[in-house]
Copies of this chain bind each other. A is one copy, B any other.
Amino acid sequence: MTTTTAAAREFLDSVTTLLGPSHVKTDEPSRLAYGTDALKRGTAADVVLLPGSTRDVAAIVRLCAEHSVPIVPRGAGTGYTGGAVPTRGGAVVSLERMNRILEIDEANLIAVVEPHVITRDLQDAVEKVGLFYPPDPASLGQSVIGGNVAECAGGPRAFKYGTTKRYVLGLEAVLATGEIIETGGKVVKNVVGYDLTQLLCGSEGTLAIITKVILRLVPKPPVQATLRATFRDVESAVAAVTNVIRARVVPAAIELIDGESLEAVASYLKVRSLAPEGTAALLLLEVDGISQAVEEEAVRVAQACLDAGATEVLRARDEAERQELWRVRRELSTSLKMITPLKFNHDVVVPKGRIPELFALVRRLRDEFGLRIPCFGHAGDGNIHVNIMVDPGDAAELVRAHEAEGALFEGVVALEGSISGEHGIGFSKARFMTLELSADEIALMKRVRAAFDPQGIMNPGKMFP
């Protein structure tokens, strides 16, 4: 962390005086626990700091700047790309003590929260008063708003409602030089100066530490209708999505699950099959809103699927059936773990009309590299989770998987797509940035980073190749 033991001692003494000994962790288990995320990769923290306030955060940052200690801001550590873990030691600043919902303003449809509020807790709190916070990353039971903002989390409802950034009106954040800034505010329109709020969304902790979030809420849609449609091929499922859009319906969710993923869930649930024989693609569709509209839209959605050649369309008749339809989607991650313990789960995105080309690419990779690659994702957004399954004990498979990964990203960029729609870059995808961005664009982003953090101590080793 610092070059001499004396300097390290001095830094530790200063943060301990600042936070109190119970909020400075240097024991081995803590240093390791805060050194990985869902990737299970990273390096141990030198020290874990638990600030209780924005002032604490600012003081920590100033001490780190003074001692040239790398800072790794951390939410719940549920990310998939290593955004919240050290790459070369330093101080992990966990926001876990800053976990209060400060305000829910029903008249102005606004919530103000500290960064470490669990996403589902916020959703539950606002739904109690008839409001709605739409972003629904799969991790919402564990992940926190600050992390959702830093990574710009998505989820199934992003098709209709947009990703996290669409709901962030303002932020309080601490710069790498210790200043506390406020961006945006409580108004839904603001064109005063540059939009630093949106710049901080998805900046993966490389620009500032987010200490407060002002969120826009919407009225809770009173009614949902959930449908499941099955298809003999991915092309027909994508044609159904196009038909739905042509029918002027904007579903809250349009989730696509491929045949290989369905088999994995069936095997995990120990059932023979979850869909009619020969199903190569399944769509889960949900429409929401006021009841008259939902009724009409559900009819249109079913017709759109049948017109595209659906072999079967089911509609949930009650909440229990709805939960049953969603279950196959929810069990996906756990089920895939039964195939192999390791997966490279990528969240590539293409213009939605090009999803069939993406699946053709994946078929080619399966054959060429001899890999299992189940796919599922948010078809309305063209955002598909491509899971390259790897047996970590099989060195040759690991090499082939890495080759397939590179070929996938190149192919996605050639399809006018992006290598990440939800998970971000972290350290795990940093070397692929050049596939999508030009040298001039990366140089510009680095200059923007330097405008926030001249010393380069905020989450170093992330995002940039």
A416 touches B187 (CB 8 A): yes
Q: Which residue in B109, B354, B423 is a CB contact (below 8 Å) of A245?
A: B109
A353 touches B107 (CB 8 A): yes
Whole-angstrom distance between the alpha carbons of A103 and B175 in the complex?
Answer: 41
- Does A425 lie at the interface of the complex (its beta carbon under 8 Å from any beta carbon of B)? yes
B418 touches A192 (CB 8 A): yes
- Does A309 lie at the interface of the complex (its beta carbon under 8 Å from any beta carbon of B)? no
Contacts of A445 in B (CB 8 A): 193-194, 196
B202 touches A350 (CB 8 A): no
Nearest B residue to A444, CB-CB: B181
**Given known A194-B203, A199-B194, A444-B452, contact A351–B186 (CB-CB < 8 A):** yes
B418 touches A189 (CB 8 A): yes
A437 touches B189 (CB 8 A): no
- Does A165 lie at the interface of the complex (its beta carbon under 8 Å from any beta carbon of B)? yes
- Does A145 lie at the interface of the complex (its beta carbon under 8 Å from any beta carbon of B)? no
B420 touches A181 (CB 8 A): no
Give the interface segment out of A36-44, A69-77, A216-224: A216-224
Cβ contacts A444-455/B at 8 Å (1 or 0 each): 110111111000
- Does A436 lie at the interface of the complex (its beta carbon under 8 Å from any beta carbon of B)? yes
- Does A342 lie at the interface of the complex (its beta carbon under 8 Å from any beta carbon of B)? no
- Does A4 lie at the interface of the complex (its beta carbon under 8 Å from any beta carbon of B)? no
Within 8 A of B (CB), among A75-125: 105, 107-110
Which of under 10, 10 to 19, 20 to 34, or 35 or more describes the interface residues of A?
35 or more
- Does A438 lie at the interface of the complex (its beta carbon under 8 Å from any beta carbon of B)? yes
Whole-angstrom distance between the alpha carbons of A221 and B249 in the complex?
Answer: 9
- Does A52 lie at the interface of the complex (its beta carbon under 8 Å from any beta carbon of B)? no
Whole-angstrom distance between the alpha carbons of A448 and B175 in the complex?
Answer: 13
Contacts of A179 in B (CB 8 A): 440, 444
Cβ contacts A288-322/B at 8 Å (1 or 0 each): 01101101110000000000000000000000000
Question: How far does the Cβ of A256 sit from chain B's closest Cβ, in whole Å?
Answer: 15
Contacts of A292 in B (CB 8 A): 292-293, 295-296
**Given known A194-B445, A202-B191, A451-B444, contact A416–B185 (CB-CB < 8 A):** yes
Number of chain copies forming the complex:
2
- Does A195 lie at the interface of the complex (its beta carbon under 8 Å from any beta carbon of B)? yes
B242 touches A107 (CB 8 A): yes
Question: How far does the Cβ of A250 sit from chain B's closest Cβ, in whole Å?
Answer: 7
Question: How far does the Cβ of A452 sit from chain B's closest Cβ, in whole Å?
Answer: 7
Within 8 A of B (CB), among A261-312: 289-290, 292-293, 295-297
Whole-angstrom distance between the alpha carbons of A421 and B188 in the complex?
Answer: 8
Additional A-B contacts beyond A189-B382, A191-B418, A221-B248 (15; CB < 8 A): A107-B353, A108-B352, A130-B248, A158-B188, A181-B441, A181-B444, A185-B417, A187-B383, A190-B418, A190-B420, A192-B433, A194-B202, A194-B207, A196-B448, A248-B290
19 A-B pairs with CB atoms under 8 Å apart are: A105-B353, A158-B188, A165-B195, A166-B166, A175-B444, A186-B416, A188-B349, A189-B422, A190-B420, A191-B418, A191-B420, A193-B437, A194-B445, A195-B198, A196-B444, A219-B250, A290-B293, A290-B297, A447-B452
What residues make up the interface of A, taking CB atoms closer than 8 Å to B? 105, 107-110, 130, 151-152, 154, 158, 162-163, 165-166, 175, 179-183, 185-196, 198-199, 201-203, 207, 218-222, 242, 245-246, 248-250, 289-290, 292-293, 295-297, 349-354, 378, 381-383, 416-425, 433, 436-438, 440-442, 444-445, 447-452, 463
